[in-house]
Amino acid sequence: MATQIPAPGPSLTEATQSAGQAVSYLDSHWEGWVTGALQILFITVVALVLRATIRQLITRMVARMAQGHQRDTHRALISNLMENAERRKQRSQAMGSVLRSVASFLVMGTAALTVLSVLGIDLAPLLASAGVAGVAIGFGARNLVTYFLSGVFMILEDQYGVGDTIDTGVATGTVLEVGLRVTKLRGPNGEIWYIRNGEVKRIANLSQGWATASVEVPVGYDADLELVQKVILETSAAMAEEEPWSEQLWEPVKVLGLDSLGSDSVVVQVAAKTMPGKAVPVARELRQRIKAALDAAGIQVGPASVPAARGRREDSADFNAPSVLGDPLSAQSRATAAIPVPEDQRR
């Protein structure tokens, strides 16, 4: 069996030449490597410091927004009524989160592109590929992007906040949480609604600015309308001087006049400008007080009615429709008749 002869190793001359080439390569490139490493380190440090600084500034701005404007004592009450602490806190936190994320993306993205250019990587194909991928992702997740952008603008424009009562068209309730994608509502029956921000076409905020408490007072045609108006105004004025109604009533109650004419009564319309979100309790209290005041003044609320005397037996024939049971020949009357007994069984 023939033995294989091992290949001869590199000679000393070849090894010397290879070592010389390596040293020459290192000697000619080490300055560029060191310079590039220092540049990358400098870019990374600057990006991290800049990112931390921007995030700190955003955090301070958010903290100031959460505290609110406490210096203006004349507007303090209105500010607290329009926007409670929880609403300001959540709104500022959401805005701060968005701003910090955008700042981090811009700073670190710019730093990453700069590092790639230092490494000698051609950015044109990379940016082109990123653009195509971004378009594809945008088409695939367009609903998510729509929800996100809608949530951002809702928060920035302060369309509603925590504690507000809103009507979104598909659901009505009190806002529990405002997110960038979903808004959470508590319905009147205790149910929780999750509304995607991008699907909301219209929003009716019932807790901003002021509200109107409307009360309809039906009285008979024989009632003195001037006396009715006087009693209503006196009752509402007394109510406006008591707590907590003195804070919830922002203007004197107004009697708008006759709203409608019925067959047996007329309706007097009463309106009151109230604190936002307090129209329902104010209207209930106002109805109760007006009812008691009109009763005390001897004014009948609603159409006049004469109650029937108890224990009195009236002839129902004058009022009831004729019954088929009154005809002994009708099928209903024969069906209710007793079954006849045969004569053999009678004995």
pLDDT tens digits, 223-242: 888 898 899 999 988 898 88
The pLDDT score that the predictor gives to residue 69 is 45
CATH topology of domain 156-205: SH3 type barrels. (2.30.30)
- The domain limits of the chain are 21-121, 156-205, 211-296
- The rounded Cα 93 to chain-centroid distance in angstroms is 16
CATH topology of domain 211-296: Alpha-Beta Plaits (3.30.70)
pTM score, whole prediction: 0.49
Q: 89: which 2 tokens?
A: 């806190």
List, for the chain, all residue ranges whose pLDDT scores fall below the cut of 50: 1, 69-83, 306-321
The answer to whether the 156-205 and 211-296 domains have the same CATH topology is no
The pLDDT score that the predictor gives to residue 334 is 64
Distance CA 89, CA 97 (A): 12
The pLDDT score that the predictor gives to residue 140 is 65
Q: 223: which 2 tokens?
A: 């009632």
The pLDDT score that the predictor gives to residue 78 is 45
Cα distances (Å, whole numbers) of residue 326 to 253, 290, 302, 315: 60, 51, 39, 16
Q: How many CB atoms lie within 10 A of CB 49?
A: 11
